[in-house]
Amino acid sequence: MEQSHIANVDEKRDFEVNSSNLKHVRSFCREVFERLNINQELKDELVLAIAEAAQNIVKHAYNNEQTEDKMEIKISVSDGHLEIGFFDKGRPVEKDKIRHRKIDDIKPGGLGTFFIQQIMDAVVFKEGEKPWINHLILSKNLNN
């Protein structure tokens, strides 16, 4: 198997679940992606996908309510395969209800999930192992 020219990475960080921490989520992602040999456009797209997923936790798992709970974001790259894990203790995700709005239905809202799906190769919701309730995994092959 050909070796990837992209460095292996394994980083995780906790963030308090609130909208004012989304900028810190982006800073963390930018720091990590700075170490990867991928183009700036792709880095920006990945930051957007991660920030949208984090925003969904604030909005949907916690209804944008005040909490002291933290979410954990884990970014791993191995042989050019990127996997981003999101762990939270909010309301369990109802997988059947997750869908982005139809893109030709022009109205505010519902675009975050569409962006995530556009950018990433795969989006998987899993039941979190204790103490987590939700575990979302976004993945993408960076070798393409």
Partner 1 sequence: MTYKVTEEGNISTVHLDGEIDMDVTEKAKEVIMPLIEAKKEVHLNLKEVQYMDSSGISVLIESHQKAMELGTKVTLKEISKSVLKVIMMAKLEQILNLD
Report the interface residues with partner 1, using CB under 8 A: 19-20, 22-23, 26, 41, 44, 47-48, 51-52, 55, 58-59, 103-104, 106-109, 111-112, 114-115, 118
Q: Residue 109 or residue 131: which is nearer to partner 1 going by CB?
A: 109
Contacts of 60 (CB under 8 A, 6+ apart): 90, 91, 93
Task: Please state, as a whole number, how many other Cβ atoms lie within 10 Å of the Cβ of residue 15.
Answer: 18
> How far apart are the C-alpha atoms of 29 and 18, rounded to whole Å?
17
Q: Residue 34 or residue 129: which is nearer to partner 1 going by CB?
A: 34
Q: Residue 48 or residue 137: which is nearer to partner 1 going by CB?
A: 48
Q: Residue 4 or residue 55: which is nearer to partner 1 going by CB?
A: 55
What angle in degrees, to the nearest 10, is found between the helix axes of 22-33 and 40-56? Answer: 150
Q: Residue 16 or residue 126: which is nearer to partner 1 going by CB?
A: 16
> How far apart are the C-alpha atoms of 51 and 73, rounded to whole Å?
10
CB of 17 to partner 1, least distance (A): 12
Sheet holding 81-88, edge to edge: 9-16, 70-78, 81-88, 134-141, 122-127
CB of 129 to partner 1, least distance (A): 28
What angle in degrees, to the nearest 10, is found between the helix axes of 40-56 and 112-119? Answer: 140
CB of 12 to partner 1, least distance (A): 22
CB of 79 to partner 1, least distance (A): 28
CB of 5 to partner 1, least distance (A): 25
